[in-house]
Amino acid sequence: MGDDHSSVLLGDDGVPIGAPRKNLICGLTRSTVYLVAAIAVAIVLTCIVALGNAPEPAPPADIPTSLLERFLEYVKYDTQSDDYSMTAPSTDKQLVLGNRLVVELKALGLVDATLNEYGIVMATLPASPDNTYPNAIGLIAHMDTSPDASGYDVKPLQWPITSGMDDIVLPSGDIIPFSQLCPVDTEEDPCQYLGQTLITSSGDTLLGADDKAGISVIMSALDAMIQNDSPHPTVRVAFTPDEEVGRGADNFDVDVFNAFAAYTVDGGVIGELEDENFNAESGVVTFNGFNVHPGSAKDVMKNSVRAAASFISCLPAEYAPETTEDREPYIHPNDITPVGVTETQVHTIVRSFSDEDTDMMKQYITDCATQAADEWEMLSHEVEFTVQYKNMKPILDEYPEVMDLAIAAYNSQGVTPDVIPIRGGTDGARLSYMGLPTPNMFTGAANMHSVTEWVVLESMLKCRDIVVDLMARWSQYEE
């Protein structure tokens, strides 16, 4: 017995010739599949066109408009950099503030604002119509805060400054002496800050005025120039990461920035204007010992920890940070890592205003390291130095107009310029040697890197006014 079947011809895909073709997955005819695909392509193209024509997202509603609002907002961002990180930027959290600043810059009208892969924000304010100066001038501040104290959960506090007020006791119990604010406060010579507003942290963290005060000043100066139609040249803006760990200029492209000169806003109390800074080098001293069980260590163990201790004790106390001032150089042993019997590394920094003093400080380190290694019979020891940045004054002396115009702007705004050497460094020190002469302006801050850090609001406002005045002078400058 068999079934009676008609003869049917099959195609290569197993479907009877002449039968409707089906999609084997969806059960759709091929013509239906083509129709669906065409509709899908049309939808995608429509979306692409719509996205291309769509306006940029509106900035968040919480963008601050005053300098104080900006500052109080920025310090809440934890942007602490990391000495030991090998990434650029050294911490991802700096990018969070960077992204916010890009949004705010675009909201001000600096539509080319970008944050690059290294965490550097750059933007351009086009020249005003009455500008005659052909080059761009830069304004720079840094986003990171020091690793020396926590920058997490900063709680900014405001204090009115009154005559004869008590020392300021922060919630943490730390004290800011009134005499630090007002060394002199008499009827004949009243404190310059009377009636003004002091801003501090709670004392559990640093404040972050270094350098979020500088960022606030620059953002507010840009806002003022735009709102008041103030004359200005092309203004290039940069906010950098990792200044506090000496790497703020590592990936700064001066050709892309394309300015004749710039100003960092990263200084101290009102009036400071800095065209000179430390020569800076770091030194690492490594002691290599030998370890055995302490119970059988006599005449065998070579303890590198003891050598490190002797080395530090050997360094001259008269050349320590805590015993020097003004133009005096110093050696600062600031870390010991790793530490152990077999190997101990002492990290030091050397600071001076002259090459001669730098060489002298380095010789002290070398001699003390040799003495300590011999005393404790180390298997070996090494001393390595790395140049971090150089004194920018020789570069700035080649461009006197950069300082001359700044001094004129200070005087015009009623601030006596206090031209002093920085016992430290700024991004401008390295940028000057990269072809961008960059002195440093005050922010109104003090006690940087400390939980007792403070800034005076009115000093920030005055710096903003000086920046606006300075840009107006550049707009009419004739080379």
Half-sphere exposure of 229 (CA within 13 A, CB side): 2
User: What's the chain's Rg over C-alpha atoms?
Assistant: 31
As a dihedral over the C-alpha atoms of residue 269, residue 76, residue 438, residue 120, rounded to 10 degrees, the angle is 180
Q: Which of 73, 78, 104, 144 is catalytic?
A: 144
Strand-by-strand arrangement of the 136-142 sheet: 114-115, 121-125, 234-240, 136-142, 261-265, 440-441, 272-277, 418-422
> At a CB cut-off of 8 Å and minimum separation 6, what does 409 contact?
466, 467, 469, 470, 473
Q: E strand or H helix at 429, and its extent?
A: helix 427-433
User: Cβ distance 208 to 157 under 8 Å?
Assistant: no
243 is catalytic: yes
Half-sphere exposure of 5 (CA within 13 A, CB side): 6
- For 137, phi and psi rounded to 5 degrees? -120, 140
Token pair recorded at residue 170: 């922060």
Q: CA 472, CA 477: separation in Å to the nearest integer?
A: 9
Q: Which of 243, 266, 272, 274 is catalytic?
A: 243
Known catalytic residues are 144, 243
